[in-house]
Amino acid sequence: MAKPFGFGYEEWKGHHGPEVHSQSLRSGKAKLILIAGNCPPLRKSELEYYAMLAKTPVHHFSGNNIELGTACGKLFRCSTMAVLDQGDSDILSQEA
């Protein structure tokens, strides 16, 4: 599968897991939130609410959690991902 964002996970720093996202959004560390298409609605609305309060952009990934994990270079499912540092990639400029 081709990487849909044109980046490798090694180029930027990110975390996965809803508890980590809530903490990073509340502390202002998250720069972007990625949400898979099949993310549970309650988790999705909670993250969107925290992102709105923190004025952090949210990208709704068109694929499912397996495809998001694969695109981020992980061997497991990942329904949400928080970008903390873009590194050398242009992931944040693609969202603008």
Q: How confident is the model at residue 64 (pLDDT cuts 50, 70, 90)?
A: very high
Q: Tell me, what's the pLDDT at 10?
A: 46
pTM exceeds 0.85: no
Q: Mark 6-20 as b/e (b = at least 16 C-beta within 10 Å).
A: ebebeebebbbebeb
> Does residue 12 contact residue 72 with C-beta atoms inside 8 Å?
no
Query: Nearest-CA neighbor of 33 among 41, 63, 44?
Result: 44
Q: Tell me, what's the pLDDT at 23?
A: 76
- Go through the domains of the chain in sequence order and give each one's CATH number: 18-86 (3.30.1330.30)
> Does residue 56 contact residue 31 with C-beta atoms inside 8 Å?
yes
Q: Tell me, what's the pLDDT at 6?
A: 47
| Angle 48-51-65 from CA coordinates, rounded to 5° | 55
